[in-house]
């Protein structure tokens, strides 16, 4: 059974407003931070110490590029970015 969570994600993103240029820059920064966190989790969780295939020179580079691409595509969807954005926005306004 496949679960469709697109409605939950779209409703989550509707409540997230970026009005000004400063907000857009802040959102980009918080998304980049979330991407960094996700990449670190992927780096740790996808370590292949006992691979069934032999190791070659490109393994580390390929794995790093894969984790980097995955983390960038997943950033903004876990909620860390939104929480950090709202916190920093509130601190900026007070």
Instruction: Please state the separation of Cα 55 from the chain's center in Å.
Output: 28
Task: Give the pair of three-digit tokens for residue 31.
Answer: 């998304």
Domain contains 83: yes
Domain contains 7: no
Which one is predicted more confidently, 36 or 59?
36
Highest-confidence segment of 14-23, 43-52, 58-67, 76-85: 76-85
**Which value, in Å, is the radius of gyration of the alpha carbons in the chain?**
17
Domain contains 40: yes
Domain contains 4: no
Domain contains 28: yes
Q: Where are the alpha helices (DSSP H) in 15-58?
A: 21-45
Domain contains 14: no
Mind listing the pLDDT tens digit for each residue in 47-75? Answer: 766 665 667 777 778 888 888 988 888 88
Tell me the C-alpha distance between 12 and 89, whole Å: 18
Angle at 81 between CA 75 and CA 87, to 5 degrees: 175
Domain contains 70: yes
């Amino acid at each position: 059974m496949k679960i469709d969570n697109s409605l939950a994600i779209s409703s989550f993103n509707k409540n997230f407003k970026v009005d000004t240029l400063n907000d857009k820059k802040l959102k980009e920064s918080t998304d980049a931070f979330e991407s960094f966190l996700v990449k670190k989790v992927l780096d740790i969780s996808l370590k292949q110490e006992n691979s069934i295939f032999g190791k070659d020179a490109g393994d580390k580079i390929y794995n790093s590029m894969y984790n980097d691409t995955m983390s960038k595509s997943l950033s903004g969807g876990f909620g860390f970015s939104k929480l950090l954005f709202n916190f920093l926005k509130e601190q900026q306004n007070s």
